[in-house]
Chain A
Amino acid sequence: MTAGAVRRDSATAEFFDGTARDQFLLRRCADCGTFAEPYLRYCPSCESDRLEWAAAAGGATVVSWSVVHRRVRAGQPAQASVVVIAALDEGPLWWAEVLDADPARAAAEVAAGQRLAITFEHVPEYEAVPAFRLA
């Protein structure tokens, strides 16, 4: 499916500045170097408040997958999309769609351990949404 519309708020402004230029921004601790999810306020390792924005390298590995079946209208066939929880190479988990995975072959294509690459869907008039592609 095409990514849905999402608007920024004060907590997500920097993150969406990053997705607009095809960067997935993580938090990196200026004191101990630990990478953290973009929504964290303090370092999960040393609790420092000196977190900086740092772009993820772009590699990830599938942890878990699902095929979502949406019924747009009663009587019409469901639309299927493949979504995953993936571990970014920096450590944090991220939940998003795998754009080029075939829903009918998801068990093979996005089995745990499958490598992925971060990509971005640019939605007109809304924020760009991070997603994955098979790597």
Chain B
Amino acid sequence: MTDPDEIASYGPAAVPRARRPAIAGLGMTPIGKVYGTPAAELAAEAVRLAAADAGLRLADIDGLLTSSGVTPGAGLHLQQMLGLTGLGLSCDMQAFGTTAAAMVQYASMAVMTGMAQAVACVFADVPLRQDKATGTAYDGSRFAPAGWRGLLTASGIGAATTMYALAASRHMTVYGTTSEQLGHIAVAQRQWAALSPLAQMREPITLEDHQSSRWVSEPLHLLDCCLVSNGGIAVIVTSAQRAAELAQPPVHVLGWAQSHPGRPRESFGLVSGAATAGPAALAMAGVKLADIDVTELYDCYTYTVMITLEDYGFCAKGEGGPFAASGVLGPGGKLMLNTGGGELSGYYLWGMTPLSEAVIQARGQGGDRQAGRHDLVLVSGNGGVLDHHATLVLGRG
């Protein structure tokens, strides 16, 4: 990875201001228990809504990045569904929970280099089925029971929650992190969700509710786990010059980075890719962590929030648990974190959850949950079992 001191000179600051990337459109279909619409149609609708939000026609889109969740559907054929011709950029992408942030990164580079002028980045998924329990969507049973992946499932570790539980458990062993500390994250995000009309789970919960919710995989309770949602979200990335002429306040893409640590024997569960990607993204943007006003972190589990806070440097390594329990979270706390309720209480559309709320906050369109200061927004994506991480630094004005 590039020396942090040099990173700024490779980022958006390297090109004239007019050609720097900005998010100009956000499209969100109905999200949650939305049945009967295939993922491809939700993806197409999200792109249409994002273009309309920006004040663009579909014909103005000249770049398309697509991504699917556990159900295929949002792929290259969206170009045909949308009637798009003459694209300068097209790719179906998959980096799990980092994909949304990564799509914005590749779209930004395409805009900076002139490959495309208006890139639609879209994700859609329909894991929920009316006739199946919510938990079956991610329990590994959709994967063919063959090969190495099949062996993990046959060994009793097929569910993503079990793999994250093993990561969280290691953190607890080494640093003394507790379930109650993780519970503070769940409670705070539910408080935010209560303020958001987009959130699926708005009933307040207490720390006692968290502690008494059933075990899924110890040390993770049910209320440590994200929701499962159907829906589609798209953003449009264009140049700052173009964005300034469009319908919405531009949200500038100031800095970014990825880090894919895999699962190192010595540090799996203890340090994530956020430790590398966070500082690099901030360096590219030319800002410091203390300058960040709003933080939207990928929160497939409460534990994921905790370790990302540590690795971004909001607190020292190993102190993520006590930090989360120190009263800094929730509306009125000093850290404006996961202001829409996140994936735990808002809605779960992989990396599009933190990205969409970041765009809403940066624009100042958060309504009852709007952060007072929102000049700089930090966004994370996390994929696999801490295998993949992506960071975005977004800014208004």
Cβ of A10 to closest chain B Cβ, rounded Å: 9
Say which residue of A63, A68, A85, A106 sits within 8 Å of B156 (CB atoms).
A68
Bound CA span A130–B148, Å: 12
A-contact bits for B247-271, CB 8 A (1 contact / 0 none): 0000000000000000101001100
Residue with the highest number of chain A CB atoms closer than 10 Å, among B163, B167, B217: B217
A-contact bits for B204-218, CB 8 A (1 contact / 0 none): 000000000011111
With an 8 Å Cβ cutoff, the count of chain A residues facing the other chain is 41
Bound CA span A123–B174, Å: 36
With an 8 Å Cβ cutoff, the count of chain B residues facing the other chain is 35
Asked if A64 contacts B159 (CB within 8 A), the reply is no
Q: Which residues from chain A contact B216 at a C-beta distance below 8 Å?
A: 69
Q: Which residues from chain A contact B1 at a C-beta distance below 8 Å?
A: none
State whether the Cβ of A55 lies closer than 8 Å to any Cβ in chain B.
no
Bound CA span A12–B152, Å: 12
Bound CA span A66–B163, Å: 9
Q: Which residues from chain A contact B219 at a C-beta distance below 8 Å?
A: 66
Asked if B166 contacts A85 (CB within 8 A), the reply is yes
State which residues 80-132 of A face B: CB under 8 Å: 81, 83-85, 87, 91-93, 95-97, 106, 111-112, 123, 126-127, 129-131
Say which residue of A5, A11, A91 sits within 8 Å of B147 (CB atoms).
A11
Given A9-B147, A112-B173, check contact A95 B155 (CB 8 Å).
yes
Q: Which residues from chain A contact B217 at a C-beta distance below 8 Å?
A: 66-69, 83
State whether the Cβ of A4 lies closer than 8 Å to any Cβ in chain B.
yes
Asked if B148 contacts A39 (CB within 8 A), the reply is yes
Say which residue of A4, A67, A96 sits within 8 Å of B145 (CB atoms).
A4
- Residue of chain A at shortest CB distance from B167: A64
State whether the Cβ of B230 lies closer than 8 Å to any Cβ in chain A.
no
Q: Which residues from chain B contact A85 at a C-beta distance below 8 Å?
A: 166, 170, 268
Given A66-B166, A85-B170, check contact A91 B265 (CB 8 Å).
yes
- Residue of chain B at shortest CB distance from A71: B135
Say which residue of B151, B153, B169, B214 sits within 8 Å of A65 (CB atoms).
B169
Bound CA span A90–B390, Å: 33
- Residue of chain B at shortest CB distance from A11: B147
Q: Which residues of A pack against B, CB within 8 Å? A: 1, 3-9, 11-12, 39, 63-69, 71, 74, 78, 81, 83-85, 87, 91-93, 95-97, 106, 111-112, 123, 126-127, 129-131
What 4 new A-B contacts, CB under 8 Å, besides A64-B166, A65-B166, A96-B155? A4-B158, A6-B147, A68-B217, A111-B173
